[in-house]
Amino acid sequence: MASQEDTRYSRKQRWSRQGMIALVTGGTKGIGYAIVEELAELGANVYTCARNEAQLNECLHEWEKKGFRVSSSVCDLASEADQTELANKVSSLVNGKLNILINNVGNNIWKPTMELTAGDFSFLMKTNLESAYHMCQLAHPLLKASGAGSIVFISSVAGV
């Protein structure tokens, strides 16, 4: 019977992302945080973003202590300007190549639908839908340049 360490080694070997470059949006909380950690543990160089700078710095400190290769920037993906800036920053850091794009940002406004303003609805659509679409467009040349690109979309009940 294989020891737990042998099983862990086999899993890491089987799912290795050694040398791959991943961009995970919304990587400081919940599913995004777990994805950043998993990809980094499997050997990927991970770039993530979030709106909250203090939380982002706290996560970076934790990941650094674990020996993970994670870079980041503050970014509000509801803003097309921030999306473009993020894509340009990632492109310059990774020599124009990206293996994995994880579209993970999402938000919700917890109030009855009939109380949502046009501004509320616009914010939700820009964050939960349009940002993923635009990030795919911006990342496409980077993913194509890598020769093997993957895009993953994450959603939750809160984003629906």
The predicted structure's pLDDT at residue 128: 93
Residue 59, in any domain of the structure: yes
Residue 153 in this model has a pLDDT that exceeds 60: yes
Residue 1 in this model has a pLDDT that exceeds 60: no
Number of domains in the chain: 1
- State both tokens at 60: 């970076």
Residue with token string 């019977």: 1
Average pLDDT of the segment spanning 125-138: 96
Residue 47, in any domain of the structure: yes
Q: What does 2-50 look like in DSSP terms, one character per residue? A: --HHHHHHHHHHHT--TT-EEEEESTTSHHHHHHHHHHHHTT-EEEEEE
Residue 98, in any domain of the structure: yes
pTM metric for this prediction: 0.87
Average pLDDT of the segment spanning 9-38: 84
Residue 160, in any domain of the structure: no
- In this structure, the chain runs to a length of 160
Residue 9, in any domain of the structure: no
Q: What beta strand segments (E) does the chain contain?
A: 21-25, 45-50, 70-74, 100-103, 150-153
Residue 118 in this model has a pLDDT that exceeds 90: yes
Residue 5, in any domain of the structure: no
| Residue-number span of the structural domain to which 41 is assigned | 17-154
The predicted structure's pLDDT at residue 155: 86
Residue 97, in any domain of the structure: yes
Residue 4, in any domain of the structure: no
Here the CATH number for the domain that contains residue 131 is 3.40.50.720
Higher-pLDDT residue of 158, 97: 97
- State both tokens at 15: 């799912």
Residue 121 in this model has a pLDDT that exceeds 60: yes
Residue 28 in this model has a pLDDT that exceeds 90: yes
